[in-house]
Amino acid sequence: MDKRGKLLIISGFSGVGKGTVVKGLLDMYKNYAISVSATTRKPREGEIDGKSYFFKTVDEFKTMIDKNEFLEYAQYVNNYYGTPKAYVEQQLSKGNNVILEIEVVGACNVKKIYSDAVMIFIVPPNAKELCDRLTFRGTEATDVIRERLTRAVDEADDVEKYDYVVVNDTIENCVDTINDIANDNSAVMERCKISANLPFIKVIKNDLKNILKGE
Ligand code: 5GP
């Protein structure tokens, strides 16, 4: 029987470039599959239903919950997001590594079900870069940017629940590092393991707080 794939949970502060990193993994390496989530958030410009997300009304989303169609779901800044179950199982049994790009609550819920899932948190090289990226992305209003930065400060406390921290300095480096972790490269795993990176997370958290205070 073919080897089962790995479940890779990829999280990170809003604006850190998770989407681009995930796309890079899919483009550069063969044996990855991305789980497309359902959400009640409105589509951003350029997002395609069924590809970026399955865009749902709140009622449709609640029906999916009732039918037990989600592996996990969570609320994030006033919208629901959830991972449809069937596709994940199908891809894992085909031997593909399945990427879940989800936030921390969902990530921890998935880990309870799949204890061997690998939890990776992507961080920016520094706090200012995150702030600049959210601002220049131009997809969110100023108050939403503040909400997302505030949420990032809270999320910094949850990073310790993850297995690895990967810095998104360049997309190529970040993609290769994640692929190395997925392939059990012990030197990379050692460098990225959570305990080695908590002091850095603390610095980012403090800097984000100062940015929000306008300092
Ligand atoms: P965005 O609105 O920027 O696309 O996503 C907001 C947050 O929701 C991100 O942190 C993203 O990783 C997370 N997210 C996307 N899909 C899911 C999902 O299926 N489940 C959970 N728990 N979080 C998700």
CA pair distance 8, 181, nearest whole angstrom: 10
Indicate which residue's Cα is closest to atom 6 of ligand 1: 76
In degrees to the nearest 10, what's the CA dihedral of 192, 23, 155, 160? -20
**If DSSP codes are grouped into helix, strand and coil, which group holds residue 182?**
helix
pLDDT in tens, 96-116: 999 999 989 899 999 999 999
201 CB within 6 A, ligand 1: no
For 192, which DSSP code?
H
The CATH label, of 3.30.63.10, 3.40.50.720, 1.10.10.10, 3.10.20.30, for the domain at 35-94 is 3.30.63.10
The CATH label, of 3.40.50.150, 3.40.50.300, 3.40.50.450, 3.40.50.10880, for the domain at 1-31+96-215 is 3.40.50.300
Of 16, 102, 108, the residue with max ligand 1 atoms within 8 A of its CB, to mutate for a pocket test, comes to 102
User: Which residues fall within 8 angstroms of residue 14, CB to CB, at 6 or more apart?
Assistant: 134, 148, 149, 151, 152
N residues, the chain: 215
pLDDT in tens, 101-160: 998 989 999 999 999 999 999 999 999 999 888 887 777 678 888 888 998 999 999 999
pTM reported for the whole predicted model: 0.89
